[in-house]
Chain A
Amino acid sequence: MAKKLGKKARKFARKGLQTVQKQKRKQRTFFKKKSAPRGRGLNGEAPDENEENLNHERNVSQLDQNVGGGHVFDKNIGNLLGEEDEVELEDDFSDSDGYLSEDTECPYISENENENISRDDTARGTFQEENTEIKMQIAKQKKELDKLLAKDKEFAKFLESRRSQLEQYDRMVSDDEEVEGDEEEEEEEEQEEQTRQPVTQTTLDVWCWLVTEDPNSPALRNLLNLYHNASLFGVITSRNEKSAQIVSHEVYSTVINFVLCEADGIFRALLGVAENSNAERILMKLKSSKEWLNVGPLVKSYFKSSIKLLNQVTDTMLLVFLLFRLMSSVVFLHAFSSLGRRLIKILVRFWSTGEDQLSTSAFLLMKEVASQLSSDYFNICMKAMYRTFVARCKFVDDSNLARIDFMKSSFLEITSLDVQQSYLVAVSSLQRLGDVVKHSSTTKKKEDLMKINNWQYINCLNLWVKFICLNYKENNLQQLFDKAVRVIFGVTSLFTGPRFLPLKLKCAQMLNDLSLTSGHFIPVSSLVFECLDLTGVVTGKMDGDEEPRLKLSTLLKVPGNLLKSRRFQEECVRSSVEVLCTHFSQWSFHVSLPELSTIPLILLKRCHEKATVESVRRLIKRFIDQAEQNRDFLQMKRDGVSFSPNDQTSIDNFLLLEKSNVKSSFTQFYASMLQNSQIRNMVK
């Protein structure tokens, strides 16, 4: 009796599940335009495609919001991109159940070998132990329940009336464990009742063999279905009694491995596309052809399952492997925009959070997607990456400096694929950054200033400065350049005092970069004067070698207690000398360098007199010597010429020769200084 009732309860639970789901599905149709007709196999595909294309525009804009967790953003920086937050619509991913109709001819070889239910070696002891423990508990509790049932006949009835309550418990468990973004799995759950035969290793081998022999073989469908099953493995078994086709680990790994390795080749063979031809163009042709009608669903199933697998697998190396396998068949994604968006979403996640290898390979795949497919994909990729970058660069410390660097440079890689499109994003972003500065400079409120004095803002600004630097030479980015310079000067104008020196130094560096790429003169020296004024006021102990090294690269605002410490001064002077170095070296052969260096040198000399810390003194002295050498050299050369300052061409040609081959000590000094600074700024 006890057993009976337990079953009953379970039955209730399942029934309940279904009703709940029915309700859910009903509600869902309000949000989704597309219903999910069951068992749509081959025939349903074509019209679906059209619809997809129709909805494409809308989808692209949606994805901007969806990808990368837009809701994480701060309100102020969140609008850096410029889009308003739309309602996050559900990803219409589950337009078909993912199964392909199978050919019944395919052989199922069922040998009841020991492989079926062999609970061989434990995977991870923790769950095994826990499972047995729970099992024991279940038995105990059931016994008790039986007792109760026996005691009171009416209780069974009562239980029935409370079944919904019981279901909650069931749900609760599964909700905990549900993986993010798997809303569609309920649908899979109650799909066709036809229980599939478990596939044995031998069957699989035969299928594989069949497929390798003849790509057209019906076994391919079976294989892909099995692959699909494998991708759903962890999810579907949780609530479904009928266990999937896969019962053994060998089958699991073989099918995944085989499909991943061979699918691309098989699809290409089926379509008659050469391995290294310009796949996209051929694909466009094939899109309307008969082959594609057949192959399309297969490819779709392949991608869908692979994406699920990407969501399931946690092992980094496996993910890297998966991504690499997918890379070769990226072209095919063109036909399935929703899948593509889904994939990008996952890729962005890997890119921003994964380990080194994973993020790199995610980036590579993303680059493939962005470059191989249409410009919509490019847009999606770029914006998703930008949003994610913005969301993830709020803090900078030693641990994530490298990551932010990587994100910056990989984003730049992507943007440089299509400067025209990214230009628009750059314009709107810079506009926003400028608006923030404009607003703050009028209000001067503390909270407004905080919007600028944070890493998010500086990183974004830096990102676009880098973008300008990267693409300035080949493109006409004068407008962006002007805006960026104005914004940076705006930022520096808002913060005074030695506490904000790191921020100013960063601005100065950016300006130097911009100046270097554009060839425009940007006066940077005044930004470091304040820093030089500071020297000489050391309060900390002089022999404090145990002081931790101060990294200005991870600071924006100096904590007050460090302001007069020796280390900070050292760093400050070093950084400002570096800034001046870059500045001078850019114009080191310009006719007016002596004048350019006049004021900084006067101040540096004063600073040198004031400085009490020996290392600082030495540093400044060396720089002064070299800069003076440079100045004298130029003055000497200049005395020999006869042109006037208004003779621009002669000035441009002045010392052109020397510029390229003079190995004077000052050029070497500048070079070594810059090199050192790069090394210092790298993470150790």
Chain B
Amino acid sequence: MGKRRKVILPPELPPETPDEEFEISDEDVEFFSENRSFTNFLASFDKKKIDKHVTRVADKSEDEIERLYERRNRNNAPLDSRENDLQVDPVDALPIKTLDGKLQYRTTKNVRSEEGNVSTDLTGEEDGEKQGTNLIRLTKAERNKKLKKEKKEAKKLKEDEDIAPNSPKEKLRSEVLKEVEEEISAEESFGAKKIKLAEIGMALLEGPEANIRSLKELLDFCKDRDPQVVKLGLMSMLAVFKDIIPSYRIRELTDKELAMPVSEAVRKTRYYEYTLLRSYKSYLQKLIELQKEAIFKLVAVRCMCTLLEAAPHFNLSEKLLAGTVRNISSSDDVIRKLCCEAIKSLFKNEGKHGGEGTVHAVRLIAQLVKKHNCQLHPDSLEVFLSLRFDEDLGKHENKAEEKNKFTKNKKGKQEPMKHLPPSEKKKSKQELIAKTRGEVYADYKAVSFAPDSEKRQRMQSDTLSAVFETYFRILKHAVDASDPRFMSETSGFHAQPLLAPCLEGLGKFSHLIDLDFMADLMSCLKQLSGFSSGTHLQSKTFNVKNSDSNRSYNGLTVSERLQCCIVAFKIMKSNLDALNVDLQDFFMQLYNLLLEYRPYRDRGEVLAEALKTMLWDGRQHDMQRAAAFIKRLATFSLSFGSSEAMTALATLKQLLQKNTKCRSLLENDAGGGSISGLVVKYQPEATDPYLSGALASVLWELSLLSKHYNPSVSQMASNILSMTNLKPTQNIVNPSLIALNPIQAFWESTVQKELLKPMNAKVPPSLKRKRKREQDTEYNVLDPQKLRNIDSEVIGEEEVKLRFEEHFKVLRDISENERFKGELNRTLASISLYDEFKREKLEKERSVALKSGKKKAKVLVKHSSSS
């Protein structure tokens, strides 16, 4: 039987199943002779068809058949290799480094062992490459050995190749062969290239001076056709550069210097530096170039960011910076995050580059903002928050100058000096300088890495001006956009993505703002926070007209407007402490914004911060205003959730404590009290706190708040209520709650925090009561009347009887039906089994016939059926 199978092997069968695999054991033979029925299928073969196949093949010469097979095999091969490639790639992205420093690529070996033939020219090329590198490199024994091994392998492959051309060359065949070889060689070369990359990289890391020229080779990889190889090349170069870039900047040599005769060591170093710089330059160029291509973008950006972080001091960092900043507002989250992080680290580690990078980066960002008309991702401006400005700059300098008489004119800011001990290093340096001559000092300064403080100061002021320029630009833009005159044109154009980080930054650096800008800035903020110079009625109508409730008429969200107020306060506080300008307009804004606030839509923490900076931190407030805010905050806490209520109450409490006279609000003074203001009756809807007449009101809210479901709120409310009994001088009510500022109060009682509160699973004692077993006629929720009606709807006995009879009949019929169906199926099955029976019988007989080998089975079957 096995033999037969071999013969009728159809051409479609994959040729990789060689004949040798068909070993027929005795057991097999025995088995088949015993179980003839298993070979039934052989009988059902269409012999004619098989014959046709066989004869068709047989028509041609043996060679041709062979060729056909071969071709088909080859056609299949590329597919396989491609699959292999895909499978292998992710694993091989990184090589394995063994303890003795060898790099291993598992799959390449596999590939090599699998595929026998490699195109000749490619191997040659590779060989050449290897030899080339061999010539330049200082070969170590280890590497030599490796190379030898590779050479040997290559030789072997070559031999294989030599055998290949022996076979008869036909045009078609050679074409196909070429294709296949290309595929295979691509696969092969990828592996080889990876190894090569790793080798070069290793060599460079081991001895950068000796192998500096290999950088060029690495660079060549980045021009490869295979994007995978390019990526790998880029990454390897990144790793190499990160390691070998010196901690100083390489200076271009002057002609004079070049002309001077130098020692061998110097020449070597110069050569090294020159090569390094040149390769670095071309690498950067490559990166910038590749950055524009979608597939390489991420890799390129990653390389640039890493380089920027690692070597911001090195030559050409401007290019790096430009590349990074360009992507800082990228729509791709990963790229944007990378760039932002890189810039942030640049700002944070100024020591690495002496501040030049900072100035440059800030300027670039400023340009970017200008170019894009303030339409960037907020992240790109948030990086400014990582900036650090040293206020004490120039202090040590001044000291040193006094001491050493190296008088230098400082134009530092007139800021109060703080006492920070100068670092030891700096001191000793200064002493050293003191001992040397001025020329030496100048020389030292020229080569010294750390820029002197004058330079630093200049850079810092440059940075600051660029930062504020950006901030003001954004503010201006926001103001312009919010201008009612532009509203019609830019309706719907509300987006001020940069405003939030801008305001945040202004808040942070408020102490550094130049006094000259102050007035402008304040008016900007005033406008943005929603203040309009006209009457409030006007602003109100604007509010009404504007359909989008989320944003006010000037297109800013409540949070943003609150932030404006906060910034204004911070600025005033840090700069104009002495002047004590009243920020009435901002208070009024806050007073009204409390009504606009919506929980979860607006940021509660901003509200809390606003309350803290404007009311909690402030000193004595005007009594009218304080009263108005106290009343408003109390009313506010009646309508909003517990965290908002807590914030408001914390502020309220502070206000009551500071403004002792306002405590009269806690008491219901029938006569209206001696301190009622201009307005005799409280106007809750007034927009101006001064006109609300809050002093005439009573804080009734607190009585309802003391019933608040949240225990902390109700406790706070009762706490405040108990302040009534205090003398004006007494302040502390409950030390535990007094410490809470509005922001803390907000975070203390957020919903998330509330949810964390555990629940006691124990049954409360008062629950332990007897079950009401006996009162089963009592209903709490359901309508008892309806339930009773159900009783009466129950059908009578007669009806029940009839229905049961009907039910019985249905059941009987169904069961009968079931039985019949079963019977029918059985019968049908028996009939259908007959076919099988017939077939079996036939086989039996045929197998008998086969054994005896007398007649063909076909005849026998005919015979038996006829009989």
Contact = CB atoms under 8 A, between A and B. Distances in A.
Interface of A: 5-6, 9-10, 13, 121-124, 127-128, 130-131, 134-135, 137-138, 141-142, 144-145, 148, 152, 154-155, 158-159, 162, 165-166, 169-170, 172-174, 177, 233-234, 237-239, 246, 249-250, 252-254, 256-257, 261, 312-315, 317-318, 320-321, 324, 357, 360-361, 364, 367-368, 371-372, 375, 378, 406, 408-410, 412-413, 416-420, 423-424, 427-428, 430-431, 434, 437-438, 441-442, 466, 470, 475-479, 481-483, 485-487, 489-490, 492-493, 496-497, 514-515, 518-523, 525-526, 529-530, 533-534, 536-537, 587, 590-592, 594-596, 598-600, 602-603, 606, 609-610, 638, 641-646, 648, 651
Given A413-B782, A594-B700, A646-B722, A442 B752 contact: yes
A644 B709 contact: no
A644 B697 CA distance: 11
Nearest to A127: B813
Interface string B649-675: 000000000000000001110100000
B600 A595 contact: no
B497 interface: no
Nearest to B751: A493
Nearest to B811: A234
15 contacts: A123-B809, A131-B817, A138-B823, A318-B807, A406-B782, A438-B756, A486-B755, A493-B599, A523-B642, A591-B704, A594-B684, A595-B635, A598-B638, A645-B698, A648-B706
Given A155-B837, A537-B547, A592-B700, A249 B808 contact: yes
Interface of B: 543-544, 547, 549-550, 595, 598-601, 634-642, 644-645, 666-668, 670, 684-685, 698-709, 718, 721-722, 724, 751-752, 754-757, 759-761, 763-769, 771-773, 776, 779-782, 786-787, 790-791, 793-795, 797, 799-831, 833-834, 836-838, 840-841
Contact of B751 (A138, A172, A312, A490): A490
Nearest to B541: A609
B78 to A, nearest CB: 42
Contact of A141 (B549, B668, B831, B836): B831
Given A253-B800, A523-B642, A594-B684, 4 more contacts: A10-B826, A493-B752, A533-B598, A599-B635
Contacts of A591: 700, 703-704
Contacts of A239: 819
Contact of B755 (A250, A487, A518, A590): A487
Contacts of A5: 830
Contacts of A173: 818, 821-822, 825
- Per CB-CB distance, the 10 closest pairs between chain A and chain B, nearest first, are A123-B809, A253-B804, A234-B811, A533-B549, A127-B813, A592-B700, A409-B781, A646-B721, A169-B825, A249-B805
B807 A148 contact: no
Contacts of A141: 824, 827-828, 831
B826 A598 contact: no
Most chain A CB within 10 A, of B781, B820, B825, is at B781
Given A253-B805, A324-B794, A486-B751, A142 B827 contact: yes
Given A172-B825, A233-B808, A321-B794, A166 B820 contact: no
Contact of A234 (B642, B709, B804, B814): B814
Contacts of B543: 606
Contacts of B704: 521, 587, 590-592, 595-596
Contacts of A252: 804-805, 807-808
Given A238-B818, A644-B668, A320 B700 contact: no
B653 to A, nearest CB: 14
Given A360-B790, A644-B666, A371 B759 contact: no
Nearest to B798: A257
Most chain B CB within 10 A, of A138, A594, A606, A645, is at A645
A364 B790 contact: yes
A318 B796 CA distance: 10
A169 B638 contact: no
Contact of B709 (A321, A496, A522, A648): A522
A162 B780 CA distance: 65
Nearest to A524: B639
Contacts of B837: 152, 154-155, 158-159
A437 B754 CA distance: 11
A371 B751 contact: no
Contacts of B600: 492-493, 496
A410 B797 contact: no
B803 A606 contact: no
A534 B598 CA distance: 13
A166 B668 contact: no
A293 to B, nearest CB: 27
Given A152-B837, A412-B780, A530-B601, A177 B755 contact: no
A641 to B, nearest CB: 7
A421 to B, nearest CB: 8
Nearest to B773: A371
A536 B793 CA distance: 52
Contacts of B701: 592, 595-596, 645
A279 to B, nearest CB: 12
A142 B670 CA distance: 109
A10 B790 CA distance: 49
Contacts of B638: 523, 525, 592, 595-596, 598-599
Contacts of B810: 123-124, 127
Contacts of A413: 779-782
A592 B638 CA distance: 10
B709 A485 contact: yes
Nearest to B718: A646
Contact of B781 (A257, A371, A470): A470
Given A413-B782, A417-B771, A645-B699, A489 B751 contact: yes
Nearest to B602: A496
Given A166-B826, A526-B598, A646-B666, A470 B703 contact: no
Contacts of B764: 475-479
Contacts of A519: 707
A134 B790 contact: no
Contacts of A497: 601
B640 A418 contact: no
Contact of A486 (B757, B767, B817): B757
A364 B787 contact: yes
A410 B706 CA distance: 36
Contact of B797 (A257, A522, A596): A257
B590 to A, nearest CB: 15
A448 to B, nearest CB: 14
Contact of B707 (A144, A419, A521): A521
B754 to A, nearest CB: 5
B752 to A, nearest CB: 5
A644 B819 CA distance: 89
A431 B759 contact: yes
A611 B826 CA distance: 76
A130 B817 contact: yes
Contacts of B772: 371, 417
A466 B781 CA distance: 10
Contacts of A127: 810, 813-814, 816-817
B800 A318 contact: yes
Given A238-B819, A485-B709, A158 B724 contact: no
Contacts of B812: 123, 233, 237
Contacts of A606: 543-544
Nearest to B768: A420
Nearest to A358: B790
A468 to B, nearest CB: 12
Given A417-B772, A479-B759, A166 B829 contact: yes
B162 to A, nearest CB: 63
B776 A9 contact: no
A174 to B, nearest CB: 7
A326 B642 CA distance: 53
Given A413-B782, A416-B780, A530 B598 contact: yes
